[in-house]
Structure 1
């Protein structure tokens, strides 16, 4: 079978494309290259430049490549930007998904894997967050992901699709330096950016009800995340009829921001310390995944530790910012 990966030239998408092709799956990528990089893709992967908002391109791509399953990663994903531009986020993330699902149903594609997010949970007060926890997103980004899950499941029920929704926790690291995250919106690249500028690492809030007062998060290596996509895609491919699966993708273990800052300093040789700034609105004290469901359903679990994430991300950062090595 052939899988279409939307957003497949992005940070996560390129890892998923590489994992799936390495495992022998046939892959086609659709990406508008607004943030994706074509050179990230394996040479055997066909790249179609286009948007999920473009129905004509979707219809042509699904037909020409005889697509039998879709991995939908294309989306806008910056929380702060979503607050400032909610209409854009709903257009890209929700309307774009609607157009894609329309095309999928019309083409007779029967398998659909949706990239969701732990942002659907909001700020739950629990030790480990199970998939059955209340979903109360606190920003437009999280709202669009939850709405996307509703759309995917509703389309699955109405049209006999096998569907899956993967709720990512904090993604980090790189399988190879050239595949590293090029943005500075996640905490590890944000730390690296401060190091490159010669400025202390910023910690937002040190008075949370956690062991060291800083927020605790569940970090997942992007290579593990890609392997999870492959496992779920193969689960969908092996199903003989419609079904739905919703799973958390994380390690099930928390790391505090202070612990992460110390590890980044150790890996990079940074001696400039940290600075504590006021809390950011909406930050939960702790957000760690329960991973019992994906372990029980698929026998999958993460294999990389947080040090692997930091070391591989730093190698990717230095590839683009060699000046940081001297800091």
Structure 2
């Protein structure tokens, strides 16, 4: 039996795939390569180039492979851009999830680990987010992830789907020299691109009520994230109880200023970041508690911020 990883050729999905393989679990990958890379999937791993919107293709995958569960990582992940492309975002993230769950139901596959997002919380009125923090997404992306969780919940009630959703903020670092973040919107690639182009990275605001005046956020290593996806799959395979959702958070976070210092040290390129005005709506501090995930999914921060930077830079430089 194998687990199907949707979006398994992307930055996060490819790390999930390798974490499964390293624990002796067979995987099958589907990815439309809209943001993923075929080279990120090892030779020997069954790979299907296609979309989760293609119900016939999904049906073929479930017929051709003995699939016991699905890790659903595929999706349109750009929160800011989703505001100008809401219909595309909903099609990819909501309709895609609905089509996938329908194909799973038809094939009798009843286990899914869903890659959700801390974007479901919007701008919470607490500086330590827990799973019970009110959900108030502020973008079509965040809304689409929350609807995805609802779809899993309702399918659980209707058809006995065993499921859990993993929510997280900023995923960084690299677990392998050939896997790296290629997003044009994420902080680490933006800083690396600026440094490689001879530009000075920028901080939006340094007058927040935080220790160094810059915003504090969760930054978690992609390999740690991947391991918790596998742990969730193990629990579902074993029929062990899981929570509907888990936050994968650091509990204390790091400031943008700390990130910039670590970037200068980790890349060996000294710089003083440019200070730009605040961005509207940026809260001073948003950090998630990972206590529930630590209890059930072996979640922990195995990497320091310096290790996150060095691993990401090494993979980026080796690309």
Paired with 2:43 and 2:301, the residues of 1 have a C-alpha distance of 27
User: Scaled by the length of structure 1, what TM-score is found?
Assistant: 0.94
Deviations 1:159-217 (A, max 9, x none): 10110100022100001121011223111111111111212110011122212111101
Report the equivalent of 1:279.
278
CA distance in 2, matches of 1:86, 1:59: 28
**1:210-254 per-position Cα deviation (integer Å, ceiling 9, x unaligned):** 1211110111100000001011110111107x8653101122221
Determine the structure 2 residue equivalent to 1:108.
108
Quick one: distance in 1 between partners of 2:224 and 2:68? 24
The residue that corresponds to 1:236 in the other structure is: 236
Alignment of 1:1-327 (within 5 A): 1-239=1-239, 244-320=243-319
The alignment partner of 1:84 has SS state of coil
Contact conserved, 2:70 with 2:111, CA < 8 A, in 1?
Answer: yes
Contact 2:220 2:301 in 1 (8 A): yes
Residues 248 and 299 of structure 2 are in contact (CA less than 8 Å); yes or no, is this contact kept in structure 1?
A: no
2:202 aligns to what SS in structure 1? strand
- The answer to whether the Cα contact below 8 Å between 2:177 and 2:314 also exists between their aligned partners in 1 is yes
Q: TM-score normalised to the size of structure 2?
A: 0.97
Stretches of 4+ aligned residues off by more than 6 angstroms: none
Partners in 1 of 2:267 and 2:92 — Cα distance? Answer: 37
- Cα deviation 1:59-91 (Å, max 9, x = unaligned): 010111021101101000111210110110011
**Structural RMSD (CA):** 1.4
Cα deviations across residues 242-290 of structure 1 (Å, max 9, x unaligned)?
8653101122221000111011011112223111112223322111110
State how far apart, in whole Å, the 1-side matches of 2:66 and 2:88 are. Answer: 31
* CA distance in 2 between partners of 1:173 and 1:52 (Å): 27
Measure how far apart 1:39 and its partner are: 1.5
How many equivalent residue pairs? 319
Q: Per-residue CA shift, 1:20-76, capped at 9, x if unaligned?
A: 011011100011111111111122310011101000000010111021101101000
- Separation in 1, partners of 2:270, 2:311: 20
- The match for 1:323 is none
- Greater displacement, 140-149 / 297-306: 297-306
